Amino acid sequence: SRSTALIISMTTEESKEAQQTVTCLPPPVQGNADYRNYKALRLQNGVTALLTQDVQSKHFAAAVSVTAGASCDPRSLPGLAHFTEHMCFLGSKRYPEENEYKHFL
């Protein structure tokens, strides 16, 4: 798999550093028909990641979910979450064209 190749290409020192900044969490509860492999991690910055391997798939993807949104907007700034969402697709240094990052995803 792609993740295995990445780990193999790390030096021993990089691998030790990565292990210190990532905490393995218990796997999620799976249904009997779920054939995927899961690995839950907590990164040093507090972000929780769920890695899913589907050996039957020919594609791979990434998704991000944050526990914030319109209900977390300050009363003085309604619409802030929605505005921030749209700012992600207006361009950045790495993806300067409008919607370029969205096309990359």
- In the sheet with 48-53, reading across from the earlier edge strand, the strands are 22-25, 37-43, 48-53
pLDDT for the residue numbered 12: 56
Structure tokens at 91: 């361009």
- If pLDDT is split at 50, 70 and 90, which confidence band does 17 have? low
pLDDT for the residue numbered 21: 80
Residues marked as catalytic: 85
- Per residue in 47-96, pLDDT (tens digit) is 888 888 898 988 777 666 777 788 888 899 999 888 887 887 787 888 88
